[in-house]
Amino acid sequence: MSLARRLEIQLGAAQMRTLERALAAAAGLDRRTLAVDDLRLTTLERRGAGTPVVLIHGFGGDKETWLLMAPWLRGRPMLIIDLPGHGGSTVIDRRRATPAAMGAAVIGALDRAGVARAHLVGNSMGGGIALWIARHHAARVASLTLVASAAPELAESELTRALARGENLLIPGAEDSDRFMRMVVEKPPRVPRAVQRYVAARRAAARHTLEEMFRGWVEAAPADALPRDLEAIDHPTLIIHGRCDRIIAVDTARKVAAAVPRSTLRVLDGIGHVPQLEAPRRVAQLLGDHLARVTP
């Protein structure tokens, strides 16, 4: 890596820290660490009256991926979790990266935070975890919002085609930052270019851990994998998906919407795999309207 690229990534890291602190303050979020068995899970939390909104990020991401959207949801209590192996949380191996193990860790975090019931919001892998919780811990879920969500069966996409030829687009190499960002987002978030390159470089640096977790997720035994009987999920469910998603094709969202009885699908034009970064205000509006409808 060239000196100029290293300096740009260092600048991006500093800009990212400043941006994260400002957005967390704007959303009224406080940092906290929760002990769940032998795991330490870092979180952002906003207390208040009512059923909390719990946000679960995607593979290789962290809790901060929700920060552009969070200020638009100031009126509700909120808990944003770094999943095991991500962000500031404890590193794990593949055995603890299955949907069941990740779902159990989120349930443990809810217990430690004193959250009996929550509105679950999950992006990508986080959506799959939300589906697992809704199926196996139904009483803990007030509603679901699935944002570019994983599912037990994925429609063909650029990711599935790449995986078939032995390439994982979700785990970039050290020089693949620009390609990675083009693959994941259709409408890049309004943050400095150095920040975008820092995010991709950080993911590349965690390559070994990410490869371990990805294998644990996709190779999970049937009992620990995503539920296939989605018709048994009886929660009010909002499904948000970008029409230009190259990672999880919009046809996957259509299949989930057809299977989950009380679901509503909203497809966003010109948006890729991370709608909460690409169209934060629009996603917050859709989520706010959904919560208003399902909250007594």
Q: What is the pLDDT of residues 129-156, one digit of tens each?
A: 999 999 999 999 999 999 999 999 999 9
Q: What is the CATH number of the domain that holds 109?
A: 3.40.50.1820
Domain extent for 161: 3-290
In a domain, 108, yes or no: yes
Encoded amino acid at 3, one letter: L
Query: If you average pLDDT over residues 230-245, what whole number do you get?
Result: 98
In a domain, 295, yes or no: no
pLDDT for residue 243 is more than 80: yes
For residue 69, count other CB atoms closer than 10 A to its CB. Answer: 24
Q: CA 293, CA 295: separation in Å to the nearest integer? A: 6
Query: To the nearest whole number, what is the mean pLDDT of the chain?
Result: 93
User: How many residues does this entry show for the chain?
Assistant: 296
User: 18, exposed or middle or buried, with CB in 10 Å at 0-12, 13-18, 19+?
Assistant: exposed
Number of domains in the chain: 1
CB 277 within 8 A of CB 65: yes
Q: Which residues contact 95 (CB under 8 A, 6 or more apart)?
A: 101, 216
Query: If you average pLDDT over residues 54-77, what whole number do you get?
Result: 93
**Dihedral angle computed from the Cα positions of residues 190, 21, 87 and 29, in that order, rounded to the nearest 10 degrees:** -110
User: H helices then E strands: how many in the chain?
Assistant: 10, 8
> 267 vs 20, 61, 103, 147, CA distance in Å?
28, 22, 26, 10
In a domain, 81, yes or no: yes
In a domain, 296, yes or no: no
In a domain, 71, yes or no: yes
In a domain, 211, yes or no: yes
